[in-house]
Each structure stands twice: as C-alpha cells, then as structure tokens.
Structure 1
C-alpha cells in the first residue's frame, strides 16, 4: 500500500491554496465544502474566486508565493501551471511538516486527492495513487451509478439510532446483526428516500423489537488458487460477514485482506501430508466457535469438493449433532481451468490418479493419494511410476505452482 487512505477534519482550520486558475478553482470548492478556512495565493484569479472573496467565503492574497503564507496552516495545495512555484510550495510545506498536494506531480506531494463519491456523511474515495487519474474517475462514475442517493440519509439516520441500539443490544455481535438487518431493509430505505417519517418510525420499531437470530453458522468457502478475483460473490459475502475465519497456508494474503478487521483469525496451517492442526481438531474449533452463536468460515485453499473430500461428512456431523448450526458450501468449480484452460472432466480426473500399484509412500509424498491432498491437482498430472532414483515429490511440481498466487506453468518429464 503506497498511500494511507484517511479522511481529514478541516472544519475551521487554515488551509493554503496556491493557484488561481480553473484547476485551483476545483480544489477550492472541495476545501470550502469541507468547511476549511481557505487562503488563496496567485498572481491572477478566475472570476469565481472574486465571487467567493466578496461573499467572505475565502481570502485572496495576490502576488508571488512566500513561505510565510504557510504559517499556522494544516494543509496546502499547489495548483499553478508553473512547476517551479509548485516545487517551492512543496519544499516549504515539507520543511514545516505540513501535508501538501501538488497537482499533476504525485512524487512531489505528501498527499494525493482521490476521486470522491459524496453521499454525506457516507464518503467513498477512489485513488490510483496518482498513476492513472482517468481510471480512478471511470471507477468513480461506475460506483456513482450503483450507490443510491439516499445512502447519506440512511447513514445519518443510523447515527441517530446508535445510542438506542447500544442500550438495547448488549454485545457487539448483536449490534452488528441489527445493523445488517437495518441496512438491507428495502422498505426503510424507500421510506427515507420518500421522507415518509411515519413509515420510517414503524419500520425501525419493528426491526428493534424482532428477536435477533442467535444461531451459529459454519460455512466452508473454497479460496481457489489464491486469486481474490476468482472468489464467488457468495463466498466473498460470507468472508466479510464472518466473526471467525479458520484458514490454511494455501489461502493467499490478497484473500485474507478481505476479512473484516475485527474478525478473529485462526491459522490451522495445513498442507499435503503435513498438518499443523489435525482435521478432527479443526472440526472441534468450528463447532466450539459456532456454539457461541458466531459466524464461522472455514476458508480453504482450492475447491472444497475437490480438495476436501471429507468435508461433506464434517458438514453432516455439524448438522446432525448440533441442529442449530448450519453448514453451507460456497465454491467455484475448477478455478484453475480459468487460468490454464485444462479440462478436468471425471474420466480425466480419474485417469490422473496415480496407478494402484504405486507404493503408498510415493503416493503420499507426491500429494496424489487423494484429491484431498491439498496442493496437487490429479487432473493435470499424467505419467508412469517414477524410477528408483527419481524424486517422487517432483510429480507435484506443476500442480503446486498452479495453486500458488504467483503461479507459473511448468512442464517436465515424469
């Protein structure tokens, strides 16, 4: 992460804008919208600046830039068409430890301005780190079309309810479940959009008085080959709603970054033939957390139906022994095929298994004993039993590389 995304409270705080052209005018609008005390320094100004000055919305200082203009400022923006002046502003701000944005020169800037989707108080900022402003703008436009205009009203209304919700629901989990119910309630959203206060009050009262579901939930999510873009939509939703995520070493950092910050993470570190935590103990972890009424996601590398054949029996045990627990499966079959184009129909899947006369040690070390081996994908491996001097582990090289986030296809004789 090259930049830390933050939101600055600038209300009634002094900010300096150097530049008086069209670009500077756009920056001034943002600062004024944020409630900042804006001083604008330039040789010449667009007519709009004079309108703002006449309305006492900002202060104009006509003339050359001088570093003393930065005294007592919290933030500065250099938006002139003169690179030398912009550099002077940047260096003077750096010397005073004042964050400074330099238009069209992100390397000189100590902060950058994102594309903004304003649903105040809900704000969404989109940035390419200054590398591709057009891409950020296109993404912002796409998000603008998706996010309803009434989201701001919904966010403000939720702010009014926070004290009551905190008083009524004792635990963080209960409060989160309530907010999730409220934010997905179409009737409430429509009532807010229509300014129907009675309907808003009735719907809210109904949501507050309805009993919350305390049932635990266990969900198995297949993480695929490590590419977060190949997660199913349902799987992504489950990951982001989880109270506890139990994961293994095949789950990539990109996917783990999608987990909520406040969710508990339990590493069980499994790989083919070597288990840091035995499967039965993993099952007990899932049960123990779900019995507390928590949402538990078992995040497993690969596809759960290919790489965890005993998962179905674990799900049956959860449902049978604990009727209040649910076990769901969310996966996208054969993710590897989307990356490499390898067919994996049942006949080929079976043909890819090692012959029955292979010694058990070769089967285990190669990771090919069962599809549940973890790193190996039998459907893409073919050949005969290795000779006495051949390392059996080399058989799983191709599949091992295919399951890693930095996959590289390799072909080698078996």
Structure 2
C-alpha cells in the first residue's frame, strides 16, 4: 500500500429516508429482485405537485431544497429556500452539498470495477487483502459481505452524535484507521453472512482495501473510475480534515438537542471517508444514476448480479451500495439515501430509468430517525401515480 499523508410515492413516504436503509421497507419475496424485473412506465413529473412540495422554505424543517426528477417521460428540476439565513439570498439550484452515504454507491462501483479487472475476488477474504487488520476473533469476512452489509463488524469510532457532542468536536480528525481499529477492538457483531445490518464500517474497510489493491488514494481512484467517466465535474472529496464545502453552496443548519439551531456547514468528515464524505450536486448525482444504471461504470453482468440483486439473507434490503424498495403496482425502486449535519440527500430510480429522483434538502434534523417533512413531500410528488 502506498504510504501517504491524509490531508486527511405516498407509500414510500411512511418509511422514513434517513442515512441508513429505509426503515420498515417492504421487500419482494424470495428470490431477491433482479434487473430482469418488469417495471411499468411512469407518467411525466407532476410539476405543480413538485412546486407545492418546495413551497414555504425556509421553515422549521429545512432552509433550502434542490430537486431533480427525470426519466423517459420527461424531466423537472427546481429549488426553494435560501442560501443562508443571515442574508436570505435565494438558494443556489446548482449548489454543492454534503452527499452523505450516497458516497457508498461510488465506493461499491470502484470495488466492482476492480473485481471485473480480476484485481479483487468478491469471495476473497478481508484477512487476505488486509492482513493484520482483523484479529483472530473474526471468522473470514468476504469482500462481498462488506459490500452488502453482512460482514458482521461493529460500528467504529466516531466524533459523537451530530445533535450533541459531534457539533462541539466538528473540527477534530478521526482517521479511517482509527475508526476501524476501534471496531476491531470490540470484536465481531455477528457471524459473517448470517444477517444484514446497515452501517459505515464495512465501507471504511473497503476504502482501505481499494488503497491497498491499487497503491493509490481512495479519492483518486473514485475520481478516475467513477466521477470522471460519469461526468461528475462538480463532485469531490474534502481532503481529510478540511471542514469546508468548496465552491458555490447553500449553508446547512442543524438543530441540537438543547434546541439551538447552529450553522453546520463547516464540519470535518474524516471519520466518514469512503462511507460518507463526498460533496456533490443534484445534477452530478443524477449523472451518477444514469451512468451506473446504463452499465457505463460497472460491467452489466456484474452490475446486475451485485448491485441489482439482494443477498440471500433473511430480511435483506441492501445490495452492493443500493437499497431495493418494492413500491407495488409493478414498480421497484433502487435507491441510496444519505445525511450529514445540515444536509439530507436521496438518489432513486426504477431499474429501467423511467423515473429518477435526486434531492438535497438542507434539513435542520438531518440525522433524525423520522423522515424530514420537506423530503417527504418531495418523494410523494416525485413518485405519485
């Protein structure tokens, strides 16, 4: 490994789109859904409903919202709210934001590219690729199990909850190695492959694996393998401890447990890294959706088998980097949500790209277990029949 310095639809609404998988997701019966599933053609976006969904910002729930709805039946994009509360200037529709766990889609695509090249065996063990990382307390964990959240690792170290301690520590640094070491010290959470449990730790390990295999930084590999081929010119990573969002952006605000509404725009995301520190735009995430689903980033056979098929684990909803939701009426959605302080994000699409949705909401409750009301309205408007 090269040594480097880390500068360092209404039915959907009730599920609650948070940084993790959709709680209470209704999943199609076994066998798991595949890319061959038939999806009915969606009507064009309801522009009036989408405008209503964005009306009234800023409010107590969000200060801004950026939305893009697309597909074969037409497209719509819009924005609402303010760039910052102090000036009240109109929100930047093409502003950059913290994309949170949608970063995992990029990480998964990089790993699958390496697998397609023969550099990584998805059935190979973490203990082989990263010797010494896991102790003897761990059974063999495969690369595929890390991708599908079935690896059995416990959460790693963090800088605290965003609604409390995390805000006070927002300029501190926690390296990926520190995060993983804390997880390993706790021992395994469950036997690898026995169940699925969403978390960041597996993708932090995958970032280390990418660096070991390529001899390059995770950030550069993500850029040359995914961002550039997809045309994501305004997407980047924060360079380790850099707490800023560079380029035009709308400021994010977080309500703390003591009731204070604080400016959360500057925040060191080093502890999230390959699991959630990407900075992007709605247009770029839409480009990612189209490039990925059309097989431009991952070869189609591997794409269908790993990203558009659920693992054979009871109750699984997550594939390699994506989540499946059976919306009924012949519609299946593949999606990934993410949130960081002041920002909550979603990218979602039918497998045939007949309907796509990307949003970034500057939510004041970005890490809440419940779905943000503004995001709820957007989803309902975007996927209404």
TM-score relative to the length of structure 2: 0.20
Of Structure 1 and Structure 2, which has the larger fraction of its residues in helix?
Answer: 1
What is the TM-score of this pair, normalised by structure 1?
0.19
By relative contact order (CA 8 Å, sep 6+), the higher-ranking structure is 2
